[in-house]
Structure 1
């Protein structure tokens, strides 16, 4: 006879913790089962370098889509720090670059002029106003049941903005609105982070990715979690425990049945538990495996590299302080043509050369993630995220060899726009090894059970329902339905999931409470 709970949650990521906190707080009996020895999934911090007191956001690293409503209702003790500098983009082969300084419009204008794109400044401002219009219409709806497409269109309230950002390929809109290749690329990157697509994507997958990157908080700002991403998990864990949820780690779920029974292993023992409702915090493809069903394996398209440096690297552009360039998003080889060429190379089976990437320095905004001795020595972190590197490039490859090749490609790409090799600046750990950690799509699949290394758990969906879509059940209205009545999605693979938002967990909890 299985133990019975009101709710059993498979997976202990941040969304699962959100759902557990809400449901236990509403009086439901809740058990969370997490395979690993810690909670948080991809939203964790860790000292990844032996004997080095640097607590890095190991996988996820910035926060934009976590609603204030969730923070307020769960009384999360969490601080998010705003970055002054939006981005810096070196013009490859030159000693010039584009600095976007949100605190100084004149400095931003000078940055556009420095790369010969002064004529695009007005277009930049106008485009920002359009994305703000999109955000102000869509963001307030994310904690409500799904709108229909027609309702979402009315909420945006601007037919031109809707047509250009939702219905036309975003790359096509970017090409039409901007003249300079470098500026076009800076705008386009938000459409390609974690999404493998050409510059002009007729499938509109890039548009969906772009939308989620620009609506967060109604502003599109991406903030630094003070204390690292583990601070988010810590706050949610405390909220779930305080509400009375049972959080079980080291519990690997091996099977789920449509009637709510969950089989899991704890140590060498097989156990069974049943839920009146089962929430799935794992990817839909992984849930299908646990149910004994088949599904299409999704594909991720990125490489994540964590570095600890003795200091920030020097730039070729002597007019810009590295502390300004790396405080925001540092774009490398992400011009419009370069992004499209990288997609073409990867589609043909080759690692892009150069790899387009972006990086930022967490410790500039939040130095507390470093031990005092590291701060005193001037050490800084560097988080690098490479684009257009689909999982298919690792098919049949030795994982260690593939990881080494991609790490070298990332370092080459970064070095090409710096005034010194970044590898020479790496801190060394207690064993004398350089402090660099690289995670490929296969590493994400192995460690986090993200199929294909897809950071969104699968293809992103529009944050609304189609006009003819059934919305008769609470699960359908909240975008968490599966083919099985007693099983709901509660992770990043839910209708409005993706990124560290808590929305998948919130929507699942609301569907359960409404049912």
Structure 2
């Protein structure tokens, strides 16, 4: 399979003139991880498959890059951890990928009454976790509430996880297998009710709430329950919800998927910007530009790995500004010469090995939401930091042992903030750095590595950057609001596409990306489920 490395990104290249056809069983639009999953499953089943990717490389949001000139570190630029991808999917495709566990689940610095400390949650939880809760709250009651809540969430995950690679169950069938209280807490009522009724401490409440807010702009009391759905997706993966580290970075995952697809017989054409999808009686025609001229291919089925909002444009339905998704995140990638010391005195190798929470007390999360909803960058800005290189030093190249990466993910930074105020980007970055500096014993700036031109190794991405780089409308990392991973009780499930949650308004065009029901995050579920629907139809 032809491949090369451009700017640190491995590129898989097909050819539009050699070994290609004008008609395929399946045409896959987009070359992100879900599209590659579909291509691999379908090619392994003996179907002719072509993948058309707009960019010069595959991988979409799950790529590893070398963003800093003269520095060999390969950072996961956008997506950076794996939770939802089923182990069965990885086994089906024989993916040569290793996921490693983080030794720390989370660490939350706190200061109260002039005293600094940190709430440590180990993986697996042990006596140090219990002692840490006691040091923060003064008793064991909050930790007991924590254990009880997550045990119940775990039972819900154990019910839901096995259904994710099966046809959609009905809501009532899932509900019948789940404890009534945890169903109400996570599915029926706004999640804020459960958090404030089950937990007393503001910091503990905030740690629980953050899983509901990754890439999702909402109050914890939002009646739409988008925060509840985000929470469930972040805790249901493989029945455990554990977020694991891909050794080699996220690019190792999508490189393995591209390799699996091509080795099974799929063709991958990069630099192929799709401009139109035209459904017909027996399939659909896809028009794309190969860098020199417009070309077209026809598929009995076309799978869309792009966001549903973009798909409607490709189908000729025009842009609908009112329904355009809007992302909500600030991503900052750092390369450090060394990890900074913390005010709490905690070992940085422990604190940064998991999710380090910054200004994410429950009350501060709600205040930040109100500020952002009112058009202002929150101050303080809630966010979280993680050091990939502590779990996987291989991404540092010859700087292993003399450098570290940090990934910062900011909450309540909706796209609208940056549309209305050109200065908001710099303000958000400075407030993110200030939030980090507030828990450090030394400024983060003094730890930053420098690139070949002497510039600090810091790269920031707001939703507008994600849209520009990846064509995700509004920079929404889930392609739109997440849906429950089951079908409403009165759903029509007459066709395979409906049964797998990948249908569109056209029989020959199916969703295979994050916009499918049970899409979102780096899971491969949209790709798997679209492939199963195709195999049931053809």
> What is the SS of the residue equivalent to 1:69?
helix
Are positions 1:180 and 2:205 aligned together? no
Are positions 1:114 and 2:114 aligned together? no
- State the alpha-carbon separation in 2 of the partners of residues 268 and 57 from structure 1: 31
- State the alpha-carbon separation in 1 of the partners of residues 396 and 220 from structure 2: 38
Tell me by how many angstroms 1:403 deviates: 3.0
1:354 is matched with which residue? Answer: 380
- State the alpha-carbon separation in 2 of the partners of residues 423 and 343 from structure 1: 28
- State the alpha-carbon separation in 1 of the partners of residues 123 and 49 from structure 2: 44
1:392 is matched with which residue? Answer: 416
2:339 is matched with which residue? Answer: 312
1:368 is matched with which residue? Answer: 394
- State the alpha-carbon separation in 1 of the partners of residues 107 and 219 from structure 2: 23
Are the equivalent residues in 1 in contact too, given 2:377–2:424 (CA < 8 A)? no
Structure 1 gaps of 5+ residues are: none
2:95 is matched with which residue? Answer: 76
2:510 is matched with which residue? Answer: 488
Tell me by how many angstroms 1:155 deviates: 3.2
> What is the SS of the residue equivalent to 2:177?
helix
1:228 is matched with which residue? Answer: 249
Are the equivalent residues in 2 in contact too, given 1:64–1:220 (CA < 8 A)? yes
- State the alpha-carbon separation in 1 of the partners of residues 187 and 503 from structure 2: 24
- State the alpha-carbon separation in 2 of the partners of residues 476 and 331 from structure 1: 40
Aligned counterpart in structure 2 of residue 325 of structure 1, from 338, 351, 355? 351
Tell me by how many angstroms 1:19 deviates: 0.2
Aligned counterpart in structure 1 of residue 121 of structure 2, from 84, 100, 108? 100
- State the alpha-carbon separation in 1 of the partners of residues 513 and 385 from structure 2: 26
Are positions 1:210 and 2:236 aligned together? no
2:77 is matched with which residue? Answer: 58
Tell me by how many angstroms 1:422 deviates: 0.6
Are positions 1:165 and 2:189 aligned together? no
- State the alpha-carbon separation in 2 of the partners of residues 212 and 132 from structure 1: 12
* Residues matched between the structures, number: 508
- State the alpha-carbon separation in 2 of the partners of residues 163 and 440 from structure 1: 34
> What is the SS of the residue equivalent to 1:407?
helix
1:261 is matched with which residue? Answer: 285
Are the equivalent residues in 2 in contact too, given 1:225–1:232 (CA < 8 A)? yes
- State the alpha-carbon separation in 2 of the partners of residues 356 and 104 from structure 1: 25
Deviation above 6 Å: which 4+ runs of structure 1? none
Are the equivalent residues in 1 in contact too, given 2:83–2:241 (CA < 8 A)? yes
Over 3 Å counting, the alpha-carbon distance change for 1:467 and 1:385 in structure 2 is same
1:285 is matched with which residue? Answer: 309
Comparing 299-308 and 408-417, the one that deviates more:
408-417
Comparing 297-306 and 112-121, the one that deviates more:
112-121
Aligned counterpart in structure 1 of residue 404 of structure 2, from 380, 403, 414? 380
2:15 is matched with which residue? Answer: none
Are the equivalent residues in 1 in contact too, given 2:393–2:401 (CA < 8 A)? no
Are positions 1:190 and 2:211 aligned together? yes
Are the equivalent residues in 2 in contact too, given 1:92–1:333 (CA < 8 A)? no
- State the alpha-carbon separation in 2 of the partners of residues 403 and 20 from structure 1: 38
> What is the SS of the residue equivalent to 1:480?
coil
- State the alpha-carbon separation in 2 of the partners of residues 292 and 389 from structure 1: 32
Aligned counterpart in structure 1 of residue 296 of structure 2, from 272, 282, 285? 272
> What is the SS of the residue equivalent to 2:279?
coil
Tell me by how many angstroms 1:22 deviates: 0.6
- State the alpha-carbon separation in 2 of the partners of residues 330 and 43 from structure 1: 22
Are the equivalent residues in 1 in contact too, given 2:161–2:237 (CA < 8 A)? yes
**Residues 291-348 of structure 1 deviation map (CA, whole Å, 9 limit, x = unaligned):** 1214410111101000001111111101x21111100000000010000000000000
**Residues 11-48 of structure 1 deviation map (CA, whole Å, 9 limit, x = unaligned):** 00000000000111111111100010100000100111
- State the alpha-carbon separation in 1 of the partners of residues 377 and 55 from structure 2: 32
> What is the SS of the residue equivalent to 1:497?
coil
2:54 is matched with which residue? Answer: 35
Aligned counterpart in structure 2 of residue 471 of structure 1, from 480, 484, 493? 493
What's the Cα RMSD here? Answer: 1.2
Are the equivalent residues in 1 in contact too, given 2:502–2:529 (CA < 8 A)? yes
Are positions 1:242 and 2:268 aligned together? no
Tell me by how many angstroms 1:92 deviates: 4.5
1:85 is matched with which residue? Answer: 104
TM-score normalized with structure 1 length:
0.97
Tell me by how many angstroms 1:117 deviates: 5.4
Tell me by how many angstroms 1:404 deviates: 2.4
**Residues 183-213 of structure 1 deviation map (CA, whole Å, 9 limit, x = unaligned):** 0000010011111001222211100000001
